[in-house]
């Protein structure tokens, strides 16, 4: 079956300029979805939108800062003005912060910045999109969490705790709006080869891949396929749920 049988269908992708966000935006654009490409990097967001349109899809772009409620609202309003009501939102925005740092040595300013973007930013984006979805009685919201939020990664206290917080938020939001027609879910990938991962120390990446029974990184295309389903009408009886994507590392 097709994920998106009832078109037009508009999805806003936060963090569409690179990595998981870019791959997801281009995939769902190829499925006939109209895609709002949002990113702090306006040029990168526009590049993704142009790639979607060059392949025959429909897209727009806008610069967005996830930690600023006014910026989030302005970006989503822009998408709706150009592409119509937003039926789905994918939030891929996130940073790792400093890594390979033991808990006693964690820099508190770095800790705050990671939580501002990964947790507070996710809440801001959710609050910006939920009112219109709730008013229409339909919506799909998907946040990209991490296996580190379920199991913790040594040397990544700020990142791991932020993703644990994001997972907790998704579980609460899913229950809050379970009867509304709006679903809120997350995915928790293991290590994926993205620009964010490429800048990590190699020992950090090895630490993570050694824990994966399949002994490899997750592919961007694999993550995008799961996201596409979770933000489609087909994903109708899952909410407040965290989808595992870890090559067998976590089976819960």
* pLDDT per residue as tens digits for the range 137-154: 999 999 999 999 999 999
In the set 9, 62, 159, 207, the catalytic residue is 159
pLDDT of residue 251: 72
Q: In the annotation, is 159 catalytic? A: yes
Map tokens 């912060």 to a residue.
97
Gap between the Cα atoms of 87 and 110, Å rounded: 34
Confidence band for 237, pLDDT divided at 50, 70 and 90: very high
**Does residue 195 carry a pLDDT above 80?**
no
Domain-by-domain residue ranges, the chain? 10-245
Token pair belonging to 139: 């919506």
Token pair belonging to 92: 């891929």
pLDDT tens-digit map of 176-188: 999 999 999 999 9
Token pair belonging to 185: 């879910």
Span of 44-48, 55-59, 155-159, 202-206 with lowest mean pLDDT: 202-206
* More confident position, 44 or 216: 44
pLDDT tens-digit map of 37-84: 999 999 999 999 999 999 999 999 999 999 999 999 999 999 999 999
* More confident position, 52 or 193: 52
The interaxial angle of helices 121-136 and 157-176, nearest 10 deg, is 20
* CATH fit for domain 10-245, picks 3.30.43.10, 2.60.120.920, 3.40.50.300, 3.40.50.720: 3.40.50.720
Gap between the Cα atoms of 146 and 189, Å rounded: 5
């Amino acid at each position: 079956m097709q994920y998106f049988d009832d078109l037009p269908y508009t999805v806003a992708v936060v963090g569409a300029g690179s990595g998981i966000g870019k791959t997801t935006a281009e995939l769902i654009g190829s499925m006939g979805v109209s895609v709002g490409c949002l990113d702090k990097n306006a040029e990168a967001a526009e590049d993704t939108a142009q790639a979607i349109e060059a392949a025959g899809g429909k897209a727009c772009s806008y610069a967005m800062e996830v930690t600023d409620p006014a910026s989030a609202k302005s970006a989503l309003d822009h998408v709706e003005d150009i592409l119509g009501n937003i039926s789905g939102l994918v939030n891929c925005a996130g940073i790792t912060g400093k890594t390979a740092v033991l808990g006693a040595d964690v820099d508190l300013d770095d800790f705050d910045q990671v939580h501002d973007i990964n947790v507070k930013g996710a809440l801001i984006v959710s609050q910006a999109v939920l009112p219109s979805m709730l008013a229409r009685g339909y919506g799909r919201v998907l946040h990209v969490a991490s296996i580190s939020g379920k199991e913790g990664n040594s040397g990544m206290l700020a990142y791991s705790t932020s993703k644990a917080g994001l997972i907790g938020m998704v579980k609460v939001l899913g229950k809050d709006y379970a009867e509304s027609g709006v679903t809120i879910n997350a995915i928790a990938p293991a290590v994926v080869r993205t620009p964010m991962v490429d800048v990590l120390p190699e020992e950090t990446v090895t630490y993570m891949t050694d824990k994966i029974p399949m002994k490899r990184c997750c592919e961007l295309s694999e993550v995008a396929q799961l996201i596409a389903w979770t933000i489609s009408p087909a994903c109708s009886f899952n909410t407040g749920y965290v989808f595992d994507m870890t090559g067998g590392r976590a089976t819960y």
